[in-house]
Amino acid sequence: MVRPISSSLAVCAAAIVCLALFSACSGDGTARTDSRGRIVFDGVGEQGIFDPSLARDPESSRIWMSYSEVDNSAWSTNPSYNHLIHTRIAYSDDVSASWSDAGMIVNESFDVTITVDDSDHDGTWVHEVSALVFDPDDDPGKRWKILWHHYLWLDGMQLFQHGWIGMKSAPSPAGPWSVERKIFVGSLYDTGSDVILGTPEVRLDQVHADLNGCLAFSEPGLLAANGALYLCMLGAEGSSKNGRIILLRSNDSGATWTYRGTLLLNAADGPALGCHGFSAPAMFAKDGRYYLMATPQVGDWYSGTTVFEIADLDSAALVRDGGVPRVITTVNGSTGSFNGAAGYIPEASGSGIIYSEAFLDEAPRFRIFMSHVNL
């Protein structure tokens, strides 16, 4: 049962609000890289790091990266159980050839004990799959924005009904970051979570008929272009359809959003490209053209990174050949590994596409690598 949790969520609300501002957290600064281009921040992530998102500061040419730090939860009795997943910031001053951790957490995960039907259960509030962007059209104090998926683990299960896409803004990725806004949810959302940060700003499942079947939204990707912000996300529709990659636009720096369309429809585009569908979308611009990166899925398994060209942002149209999205390039991790969830901007020429890879039987389990593949 999920509903009885709602009475206990209020206990967590004050703690989440107290963690809304960024917190300092030790790391040893400059990253190490190995022969495969793995990025390692010493002292960061007992279980590793994952999900990079890149953005360039036009005023300094510094490249910033948000990413997930994965630590052991107090409840982590086995590798598939709860983890603490925080959002961290890193930067590069040499076109991404080397990286330094900024020594801070934007969103801090924490463990809670939640009572359900008079029994205590192991809970963890986590912050996954962040997306970072510089928004030149907003006020100086809010030009940097970060969106991510904020949700609850309970007894080793992801409860997306107690989750949403959150958003913060800041004058710099180094902070200070604003308090969190609860932006997007789907039809699965449990209103018991309204005790934390209030009601969601947008019920996306009610915005357009395309989105009626979307249970939850995750894996945001951000792009500033044409005087607007564009946001792509995975809209999860359940195992039978496997979801879609959608595109939204904001003309007012994230205050309001409009649905532009579906970039990838997994039920059709996945089989046409030899997979079940796509997850982990991200976007970038190069030479006046726009591109979508997404991770092919085989079942629940991530299998590389595929780059597509966007024909038109405002109609959410990809360049297609005979109805099939045209593949520009692909990047793959180790054979048979869980890999994808990549970040890239053309200015990051020293690293190229940076991708994630999970090693289920090794420690640390979660790692990110420089591919040195540039578009």
- Which pLDDT tens digit goes with each residue over 54-96? 999 999 999 999 999 999 999 877 666 789 999 999 999 999 9
Question: What is the model's pLDDT at position 10?
Answer: 46
Q: What is the DSSP secondary structure assignment for residue 333, as one 8-state letter? A: -
CATH number assigned to the domain comprising residue 57: 2.115.10.20
Is 67 part of a structural domain of the chain? yes
Q: Which residues contact 369 (CB under 8 A, 6 or more apart)?
A: 36, 37, 38, 39, 333, 354, 355, 356, 357
Q: In total, how many domains does the chain have? A: 1
Is 275 part of a structural domain of the chain? yes
Q: Which of 201, 329, 188, 328 lies closest to 256 in space, CA to CA?
A: 201
Q: Which residues contact 124 (CB under 8 A, 6 or more apart)?
A: 73, 75, 82, 83, 84, 109, 110, 111, 112, 152, 153
Is 375 part of a structural domain of the chain? no
Among the ranges given (5-9, 207-211, 213-217, 329-333), the one the predictor scored with the smallest mean pLDDT: 5-9
Which helix (H) or strand (E) element contains residue 272?
Answer: helix 266-272
pLDDT digits (tens, 9 = 90+) for 1-23: 333 344 345 444 444 444 444 44
pLDDT digits (tens, 9 = 90+) for 265-275: 999 999 999 99
Q: Which of 299, 328, 294 lies closest to 311 in space, CA to CA?
A: 328
Is 321 part of a structural domain of the chain? yes
31 neighbors 100 (Cβ within 8 angstroms): yes
Is 166 part of a structural domain of the chain? yes
Whether 342 shows a pLDDT value over 90: the answer reads yes
Segment 333-348 mean pLDDT: 95
Whether 350 shows a pLDDT value over 50: the answer reads yes
Segment 183-204 mean pLDDT: 97
pLDDT digits (tens, 9 = 90+) for 290-332: 999 999 999 889 999 999 999 999 999 999 999 999 999 999 9
Residues 252-282 as b/e (b if ≥16 CB within 10 A, e otherwise) read ebbeebebbbbbbbbeebbeebebbbbbbbb
Is 113 part of a structural domain of the chain? yes
The reply to whether the predicted model has a pTM over 0.85 is yes
* 3-state SS record for 204-270: HHHCCHHHCCCCEEEEEEEEEECCEEEEEEEEECCCCCCCEEEEEEECCCCCCCEEEEEEEEHHHHH
Domain interval for residue 110: 3-370
Looking at every residue in the chain, the average pLDDT score rounds to 91
Q: Which of 231, 144, 136 lies closest to 184 in space, CA to CA?
A: 231
pLDDT digits (tens, 9 = 90+) for 138-173: 999 999 999 999 999 999 899 999 999 999 999 999
Question: What is the model's pLDDT at position 211?
Answer: 97
